[in-house]
Structure 1
Amino acid sequence: MPGQFAIGVIGYVVAVNLLAYAAMVLDKARAENSSQRIPESTLLNLAIIGGSIGTVIAQQTIRHKTRKEPFRSRLVGIVLLQVLVLIALIVGLVVTGSPETLWQFLTF
């Protein structure tokens, strides 16, 4: 069961990051063609739900929204928040010794 959960989490992270990357590429193409754009809120929501890596990679590789404020600052904030949550989960796993114990502690 834990292996299946890990595979599911990895699959989700890959899928949402590919989607976030694709959304950034599509938004840039639409900007260049003066078409209807993807709202910044949609791009940031994709980052919030786990697509921040894909969003940042797209931002750097296709040079899209690199200077656009407040988008850039909000994306940095999302990435920092996600890094802090990841660090807290890792520390929690080390302290409790297992994912099950950590889950029980968090849901008591």
Structure 2
Amino acid sequence: MILLYSFLALNIIAFVLIGYDKKLAQNNKRRISEQTLLGCVFFGGTIGSGLGMLTFRHKTSKKSYLLKFWLIVIIQFLIAWYYLNN
């Protein structure tokens, strides 16, 4: 159960970070680094980050970010597939 709550919390944090970064961008303030945003995705905030990108229309046209995002998603999928089939 703790794992579920951790997963949920991480995805909420990832969602909020994407929204906050969008707000910072609109106000020409110092931004959250892509490394931090992608770190959230890497450690399990994929769903929250993806929903944040769609909701706030942020990072959806930056090809280098999207490439890294989808690479992480594919790796996570392959790891999950491997463990579910072995």
Query: TM-score range with shorter-chain normalisation?
Result: over 0.9
Pair 1:35 & 2:29 matched? yes
**TM-score normalized by structure 1?**
0.77
Moved over 4 A (4+): none
CA RMSD after TM alignment: 0.8
Greater CA radius of gyration, 1 or 2?
Answer: 1
Q: CA deviation at 1:69?
A: 2.4
**Identical residues among aligned pairs (%):** 31
Task: Give the Cα–Cα distance (whole angstroms) in 2 for the partners of residues 71 and 61 of structure 1.
Answer: 17
Instruction: Count how many residue pairs are aligned between Structure 1 and Structure 2.
Output: 86
Which of 82, 88, 93 matches 2:82? 88
AA in 2 matched with 1:72: L
Uncovered stretches (5+) of structure 1, i.e. residues with no partner: 1-6, 93-108
Corresponding residue SS for 2:63 = coil
TM-score by length of 2: 0.95
